Structure 1
Amino acid sequence: MSQPPEEIARQMRDHILGLPKKPRQIIAVAGPPASGKSTAARALAHALGRAGKSAAVIPMDGFHLDNAVLAARGILSRKGAPHSFDLQGFTQLLARIAENSEAEIAYPLFDRARDISIAGAATLPRSVEFVIVEGNYLLLDQDGWRDLRKFWDSAIMLMPPRAEIEARLLQRWIDHGHTPEAARARRDANDLPNAELVLANALPADWVMAEAA
C-alpha cells in the first residue's frame, strides 16, 4: 500500500468507532486479490485493541473447497473464483456471528503453505465487539454473494491501482517458488480474472480506500 498499514488502520478505526453503537458489529474488508485485505484487517484489529475494543479477524479464505472437490468438479485451476468456495457454509457462519447467542463459535482458517482449509482452527468468543471479515467477494453483486451485504454494519473496499495488483500477484507466486514465467501464467489465467470480477461487479461500499496510481 502507498500508505503504511498503520495509517490505513487508523482511518478505518476512526470510521468504525463513529458508527452507531451495538454490542457486536461486523465489518467487511473487501477488495480484489492482493489488495492488502489481510494486512489491513489485522492492522485494524490491532488499532481497535489499542483503543480499548475487542476485535477478531475472520478470513473468507477458510471456506475454500478442498482441492479434491475442486479437481472432481474440473475447476481446480480456478481455485479462488467465487464458485470454488463453500458459500452456504460461510453464510451460515455469518448468521451465527450476527445473532451472537453462542458462547463461542469455531471457524475454519486457510493454511496457504499446505493449500488446505483447517476446520475449527480458531474460535470467536461471544464477548468480541468487532468482527472484521476479510475476503475478495464480500461485496460481489452475484446470486448468493449479494445476500452477504445484510451482515455488514460497515463495508470497506480496498482498491489499489491495477498495475499494483498485477505486480503483487506476480510476486506472490514467485514467493511460492514459481518461475517468473509460471507465476505470470497463473496470475493471468486465474488471479486477474478474479480481480476484474471484483472490480466490475461490486455492490456499493460504505467507504472506499483507493490508492493513487
Structure 2
Amino acid sequence: MTSLDDLADRARSLVRGRHRTLLGIAGGPGSGKTTLAENLVALLRRRPPAGLPPLDWVAYLPMDGFHLADVELDRLGRRDRKGAPDTFDAAGYAALLRRLRQDEDDVIYAPAFERELEQPIAGSIPLPRAARLVVTEGNYLLLDQGDWARVRPTLHEVWYCDLDSDERVRRLVARHERFGKDHDAAVAWVLGTDQRNADLIATTRPKADLIVPDAVLRTIGERDQAMID
C-alpha cells in the first residue's frame, strides 16, 4: 500500500454483496488514524462500488466518543491518565459494533468526542442502514485485554498506522497545545500518559491485517495541513 488510492481500493474490495463490512484503523495517539480515516471515507464516498449509492454507502465512526466523561473519571480516580484503556466504555463500543454488524436497524446513533470540551457527546453520529462499509478508528482496536477483547472479533479487517515515533510525538504536542495546554504541560502529558498508552498499543501491531507505512501517513497529513494553511 503506497498511497491513499491503494488503501481505498483495498477498503472497497472488502465490501462483498450486500453485507455490511467493518474496517478498523488502529495506532498510537497522534499516529494519524483520524486523518487517514477521514480522508479515506471522503475518497470512498466519491467512488462507490458498482450498484451502491454515493455518499451514504460508507460511514465513519471514531472510537473517541466512548471516552468516559470527566465526572465519571473523577469518581473512579482515573482523570489524570485520561486516554488509558480503562478510561473508555470498551464494552459499549463493542456492543455498538455488534449492532452494526447485525445490520438490523434503520439508523444507529453513536457518540462523538468534542475536543473543545474534552467530553463525549451522545447521539451525535448517525450511521444509516445504507452504509455497507463502516470505517472506525481508535487506539485499542487490537487490544486483547478486558472488554477490549470483544472489539476485534466484530471487525472484518484492522489496519495499523505506523508513523515515525518522533513525528507522532511532534504532532501530539501540537494537538495538545491547539486545545489549550501550554507547551510544558503538553510535553509532560505526551511523554507521560500518552507514551505509556503508545507503548501498550505498539504491542498490538503484529495483530494488524495491514501496516500503513510512515510515508503514506506523512503524505496524507501534509496534504491536510496544506489545505488548512
Do both proteins adopt the same fold according to a TM-score greater than 0.5, normalized to the shorter chain?
yes
Aligned to 1:107: 110
Q: Which moved more, 1:169-178 or 1:73-82?
A: 169-178
SS in 1 for 2:25: strand
Q: Structure 1 length as normaliser, TM-score?
A: 0.91
Structure 1 unaligned blocks of 5 or more:
1-6
Instruction: Name the SS of the counterpart of 1:144 in structure 2.
Output: helix
Residues 76-96 of structure 1 deviation map (CA, whole Å, 9 limit, x = unaligned): 011111000011111110110
Match of 2:31 among 28, 35, 39: 35
Give the match for residue 48 of structure 2. 52
In the alignment, the residues of structure 2 paired with residue 72 and residue 198 of structure 1 have an alpha-carbon distance, to the nearest angstrom, of: 26
1:82-140: CA deviation from partner (whole Å, max 9, x where unpaired): 00001111111011000001111111101010111111012111111110011011111
Give the total of aligned pairs.
208
Are 2:14 and 1:19 equivalent residues in the alignment? yes
1:59-138 aligned at under 5 Å gives the runs 59-138=62-141
Distance 1:96 1:119, change over 3 A: same
Rate the CA distance shift 1:68–1:207 in 2: closer, same or farther, 3 A: same
Shift of 1:8: 4.1
RMSD: 1.9
Deviations 1:32-90 (A, max 9, x none): 11111111111111111111252111000000001011011111011111000011111
CA spacing shift, 1:203–1:87, aligned 2, 3 Å: farther
- Give 1:147 deviation, angstroms: 2.5
Q: Which whole-Å CA distance do the structure 2 matches of 1:48 and 1:17 have between them?
A: 7
For the structure 1 residues 203 and 151, does the alpha-carbon distance in structure 2 shift closer, same or farther, using more than 3 Å as the test? farther
Q: Distance in 2 between matches of 1:148 and 1:112?
A: 24
> Share of identical aligned residues, percent?
35
Partner Cα distance (2:166, 2:173) in 1:
11
CA distance, structure 1, for counterparts of residue 206 and residue 163 of structure 2: 17
Structure 1 consecutive aligned stretches of length 4 or more whose deviation exceeds 3 Å: none
CA contact (8 A) 1:30 1:157 kept: yes
| TM-score (structure 2 length as normaliser) | 0.85
Question: What is residue 182 of structure 1 aligned with on the other side?
Answer: 185
Distance 1:20 1:104, change over 3 A: closer
C-alpha deviation, 1:194, in angstroms: 0.8
Kept in 1: contact 2:101–2:154 (CA 8 A): yes
Does 1:148 pair with 2:156?
no
CA contact (8 A) 1:16 1:154 kept: no
Q: Give, in whole Å, the separation in 1 of the partners of 2:170 and 2:7.
A: 25
Structure 2 CA distance for partners of 1:8 and 1:65, relative to 1, 3 Å = farther
Residues 176-208 of structure 1, C-alpha deviations (whole Å, 9 max, x = no match): 232221111111221111111100234511110
Distance 1:36 1:51 in 2: 22
Aligned letter for 1:25?
T
> Which of 189, 194, 198 in structure 2 is aligned with 1:195?
198
